[in-house]
Chains A and B, each alone.
Chain A
Amino acid sequence: MNHPTDTSVPLLAARDLTKSHGRTPALRGASLELREGEILAVTGPSGSGKSTLLHCLAGIVRPDGGSVAYGGERLDRLPEKRLSELRRTEFGVVFQFGQLIPELTALDNVALPLLLAGTARGQAQAKAGEWLERFGVRGQGELRPGEMSGGQAQRVSLARALVTGPRIVFADEPTGALDSLAGEQVMSALVHTARETGTAVLLITHDAQVAAYADREVQVRDGAVVPQGVAV
């Protein structure tokens, strides 16, 4: 839980985000900061706008209003092509499920972001193998996602999210479909690796035990982030 000393400039900062799905407002002025190397849990009841907030922060969705600043760039203004590139190279994404391509082996799934970046297949597979090793699923490298347990598939997803050496990993309920023991393994794998590599993690969860893996917690309620440090 030792942050880098310089916490004055956040790595990612969102101000007054608003976003509606049709007529239903999902975000009503949400603001949030993520510091370098920090593991931040975003909690809140279902339907509070957590996922939409993550989508805006990761550049998956363009907010209706407000700003998202990442390293001098305004994500809310970037063209889709640049956003896609950012998500591929500087961000890693882990969802509850579905981010692995069912037809590809675990190894190829992890190698995919490297292939997209132009790495040769053999080299990409070698690096993917190292990451599978790191998450204890090297033996499952030739399996396809449907042939693995949920916990194994999520650890492969973590490997895929981290293989490009991103600065931020966005995790949306990464343990949502797992039992508590598999969830614990996934969470400690994520947290240990993030600390080793200095990767910041934005973790969406409704589970306090999962949120407890983070350095800090913010709560989302009715589309806004609850102000922190509300004293007694």
Chain B
Amino acid sequence: MSGSPQSSPQNLPRVSLRSDLRLAWLLTRGSDRREWWRVTLTAVGAGLATGFALGAAALASVSGWYRIPFANGLLDEPGTRDGVMFALLLLLAPVLGFLGQCARIGAVHRDRRLAALRLAGATPWQVRRIAALESGLACLLGSAVSTVFSVLFMLRIGPPSAAAWLGFALVAVAVPVLGAVVSAVSLRRVVASPLGRVRRVRPATNKGIRALLLATVLLTAVAALMVATGTRGRFNGLPLIVFTLVVLTGMGAVWLAGASARLIGRLLATRARSAAVLIAAERLRDDPWAAARSHAAALLVAIAGTGFMGVREVLLEGLDPKYAYAPYSPEDLAFYNTGLDLTAAAILVALAVTLGGLAVGAAESLATRRRGLAAQAASGVPREVLGKALLLETALPLAPAMVLAGIGGMGVSTWYAVLAGDGRPAPLLPLLAPFVIYAACVLTAAASLPLLRRTVRPAELRYT
């Protein structure tokens, strides 16, 4: 540790930063397998986030009609390009959910280690910086890999403009910095006490969420002002608005997922008749936010998926020569089809990332509770009951969220059908989407059941 707790870290900032960095590296290197999982998966998430953001930045750097030799001319028009940008920014939502789940891997272990650092005399600021460096480094790794590949790709297309370079540099730096900042902020309660947290105690009001909300509202206001005054044109204002909308929707979804989990937990805890429901309900009530981020992402994907399927059906019918009012050229058809395929691909990627987050969360929850679960199995609680509780933990809070997503998505597609306006009824096929996504989420949770089998081994009972 550099210096006593009394000496302010401002005295020798360079030396202490370097020693903190060394300490962060030592701790990461010496940590157990699960922490390596966290670092690896965080890097993967950061890489995905960087990739999507870089794509958006590259598209934003182009103005007006510009020939891009990809996607059947979809990227040539400013209008559709904005759409693709919107989709790319939207993809950040599930990635953030995924990163949120990754941060939980080995969290108990890490919290304990940081508390030990505090006991050994590190200042809260130092501990926070060490932890921030750890996540920052992981994010830097992901962002670096992603940036290198994106730059190579850009160079193949043609010489990037100065604006593109600037955008790239901004994104490549912003991802690790944001990762470090978020990790420092989320650790504020752990570093407060050298004795660490004995049990989860959640503050009554979440100042962090409020601050984030305030920042988002301010950002929206600034963006709106910029668009309204029109001084810098829509190119700079629109992505900001879009991003703000994404963040706001995401936060709303997280809140909805958490709040519904808590409500369901409370309602069922008193009414449960079977052991599995009781255990699941009490766990939801105890920590409704545990899976809220993943569930929120699933919710958004379900809305987008349902809406998209509706829009797609209406659009394709419109393109069908049978109904067509004006004949479309093959180029036009390819253009529309590519657009639809790209959107479908984006939604599938989002779903995959979301399911990845869910799987990580389920595995982590099992790993953290392995001793308790082994004790339950030893005292005769059947493994099926434990497994059922695990599935219910995912299935219960997701059910109302999926109903809501179905309604939202159907709203979008119905609205679009009405807009297309030839009196045809809104397609019903999209109603399948929430069910399919729900099933996928529950199946992902079920995929962690073999892990449960390994977890409840009596070897876990051998405590020291």
The answer to whether any beta carbons of A and B sit under 8 Å apart in the complex is: yes
> A residues near B, CB below 8 A?
21, 51, 55, 58, 60-61, 81, 84-89, 91-93, 95-99, 101-105, 108, 112-113, 115-116, 120-121, 144, 146, 160-161, 172
Known pairs A55-B458, A89-B380, A98-B463 / 6 extra A-B pairs, C-beta < 8 Å = A61-B458, A84-B382, A85-B380, A98-B461, A120-B273, A160-B379
Contact yes or no, B385 A116, CB < 8 A: yes
Please tell me if B326 contacts chain A, counting CB pairs below 8 Å: no
Q: Which residues of B contact A102 (CB under 8 A)?
A: 199, 286, 372
Asked if B282 contacts A104 (CB within 8 A), the reply is yes
Question: Are B458 and A93 in contact (CB-based, < 8 A)?
Answer: no
A145 to B399, CA, bound (A): 30
Chain A residues whose C-beta falls within 8 Å of the C-beta of B375 in the assembled complex: 93, 95, 98-99
B376-393 vs A, Cβ < 8 Å mask (1 yes, 0 no): 111111110100000000
Does A93 contact B380, Cβ atoms closer than 8 Å? Answer: yes
Q: Assess whether B379 is in contact with A93, with CB atoms less than 8 Å apart.
A: yes
Given the complex, which residues of B lie within 8 Å of A160, measured CB to CB?
A: 379
Q: List 30 A-B contacts (CB under 8 A).
A: A55-B378, A60-B378, A60-B458, A60-B461, A61-B458, A84-B377, A84-B380, A84-B382, A87-B379, A87-B380, A88-B380, A88-B381, A89-B380, A91-B380, A93-B380, A96-B463, A98-B372, A99-B376, A102-B286, A102-B372, A104-B279, A104-B282, A112-B275, A112-B278, A116-B380, A116-B381, A116-B382, A121-B272, A121-B273, A146-B199
Question: Which residues of chain A are within 8 angstroms of B462 by Cβ–Cβ distance?
Answer: 51
B283, A103: Cβ atoms under 8 Å? yes
Please, how many angstroms separate the alpha-carbon atoms of A98 and B39 in the complex?
A: 29
Which residue in chain B gives the minimum CB-CB distance to A86?
B380
Q: A21-B459, A51-B461, A101-B372 are in contact. Are A115 and B380 (CB under 8 A)?
A: no
A-binding residues in B (CB < 8 A): 198-199, 272-275, 278-279, 282-283, 285-286, 371-372, 374-383, 385, 458-459, 461-463
- For the complex of A and B, 4 pairs with smallest distance between CB atoms: A88-B380, A87-B380, A103-B282, A146-B199
- A161 CB, min distance to chain B CBs, angstroms: 7
Residue of A nearest to B381 (CB): A116
A230 to B375, CA, bound (A): 36
CB distance from B57 to the nearest CB of A (A): 44
Q: Which residues from chain B contact A116 at a C-beta distance below 8 Å?
A: 275, 380-382, 385
Report Cα–Cα, A104/B285, bound state, in Å.
10
Whether A103 and B285, one on each chain, are in contact in the complex, defined by CB atoms closer than 8 angstroms, is yes
What CA separation (Å) do A109 and B385 show in the bound complex?
14
* Cα-based distance from A85 to B384 in the complex (angstroms): 12
Q: Give Cα A202 to B98, complex, Å.
A: 47
Take A21-B459, A51-B461, A55-B461 as given contacts and tell me if A161 and B379 are in contact as well, using a CB distance cutoff of 8 Å: yes
Residues of chain A within 8 A (CB-CB) of B461 are: 51, 55, 60, 95, 98, 172
In the assembled complex, the CB of B261 is this many whole angstroms from the nearest CB of chain A, namely 13
CA distance A91 to B381 in the complex (A): 12
Taken together as a complex, chains A and B put the C-alpha atoms of A161 and B458 apart, in Å, by: 18
Instruction: Kindly provide the distance from the CB of A82 to the nearest chain B CB, expressed in whole angstroms.
Output: 11
A105 contact set on B, CB distance < 8 A: 282
Q: Which of A55, A61, A98, A113 contacts B380 (CB 8 A)?
A: A113
Contact A112 B381 (CB under 8 A): yes
Asked if residues B385 and A98 are in contact (CB atoms below 8 Å), the reply is: no
- In the complex, what distance in Å separates the CA atom of A157 from the CA atom of B148? 57
- A146 and B198 CA atoms in complex are apart in Å by 8
Cβ-defined partner of A115 (8 Å) among B274, B286, B372: B274
The residue of chain A having its C-beta at the shortest distance from the C-beta of B279 within the complex is A101
Min CB distance B286 to A, Å, is 4
Question: Which residue of the partner chain A has the closest CB to B271?
Answer: A121
Set B279, B282, B286, B383: member contacting A84, Cβ < 8 A: B383
* Residue of B199, B375, B378 contacting most chain A CB atoms (<10 Å): B378
Known A55-B461, A108-B278, A120-B273: A93·B378 in contact at CB below 8 Å: yes
The CA of A121 and the CA of B285, in the complex, are separated in Å by 18
Contacting residues, chain A, for B374 (C-beta < 8 A)? 98
For the complex formed, measure the closest distance between the CB of B381 and the CB atoms of chain A, giving whole angstroms: 6
Measured in the bound complex, the distance between the Cα atoms of B456 and A48 in whole Å is: 23
A95 to B376, CA, bound (A): 11
Cα-based distance from A116 to B376 in the complex (angstroms):
12
Contacts of B279 in A (CB 8 A): 101, 103-104
User: Cβ of A113: which chain B residues have Cβ within 8 Å of it?
Assistant: 379-380
Give the CA-CA distance A92 to B378 in the complex, in Å.
10
Measured between beta carbons, the chain A residues less than 8 angstroms from B459 are: 21
- Nearest-Cβ distance from residue A206 to partner chain B, whole angstroms: 13
Q: Which residue of B has the minimal Cβ distance to A22?
A: B459
A92-B458 Cα distance, complex, nearest whole Å: 16
**C-alpha spacing A60/B376, complex, angstroms:** 11
A99 and B380 form a contact (CB under 8 A): no
Please indicate which of the listed interface residues B272, B279, B461, B462 has the most CB atoms of chain A within 10 Å of its own CB: B461
| Minimum distance in angstroms from B238 CB to a CB of chain A | 46
For the complex, what is the distance from the CA of A116 to the CA of B372, rounded to whole Å? 17
B286 touches A103 (CB 8 A): yes
**Min distance, Cβ A101 to any Cβ of chain B, angstroms:** 6
A88 cross-chain contacts in B, Cβ below 8 A? 379-382
State the Cβ distance, A129 to closest chain B Cβ, in Å. Answer: 16
A81 to B272 CA separation, bound complex (whole angstroms): 24
A197 to B273, CA, bound (A): 28
Task: List residues of chain A with CB within 8 A of the CB of B458.
Answer: 55, 60-61
Cβ distance A48 to chain B, nearest Cβ, rounded Å:
13
B378 and A58 contacting across the interface, CB-CB below 8 Å? yes
State A51–B285 Cα separation when bound (angstroms): 35
